[in-house]
Amino acid sequence: MARERKSGGLEMWHYALLGIPYAALLIPSIYSRDTPELFGFPFFYWYQFAWVILSAGLTGIVYWRTRS
């Protein structure tokens, strides 16, 4: 049995999650520094790598919410 979908409103809030990584990495001045370090890696590198993992999680959430 197929689920019925409502368009617009709060039913589509999960699509906004896809914009979070984009916004977080859009302005390099936020993360273009050396400190704090994590396991010897400068902030510049581990911040971007953390967003790779977070983006995968957010994409999974959006997939889970929109699958038929």
The whole-chain average pLDDT of the chain stands at 84
Question: Residue 7 falls within a domain, yes or no?
Answer: no
Query: Residue 42 pLDDT more than 90?
Result: yes
Say how many domains are in the chain: 1
Which residues have a Cβ under 8 Å from the Cβ of 11 and sit 6 or more positions away? 5
Q: Domain containing 55: what range?
A: 13-66
Say if residue 39's pLDDT is above 50: yes
For residue 38, what are the β-bridge partners? 41
Region 37-47: mean pLDDT is 92
Say what percent of the chain tops pLDDT 70. Answer: 82
Within-domain flag for 37: yes
Q: Give the residues across from 41 on adjacent strands.
A: 38
In the predicted structure, residue 10 carries a pLDDT above the cut 80: no
Condensed to tens digits (0 to 9), the pLDDT of residues 46-67 reads 999 999 999 999 999 999 988 8
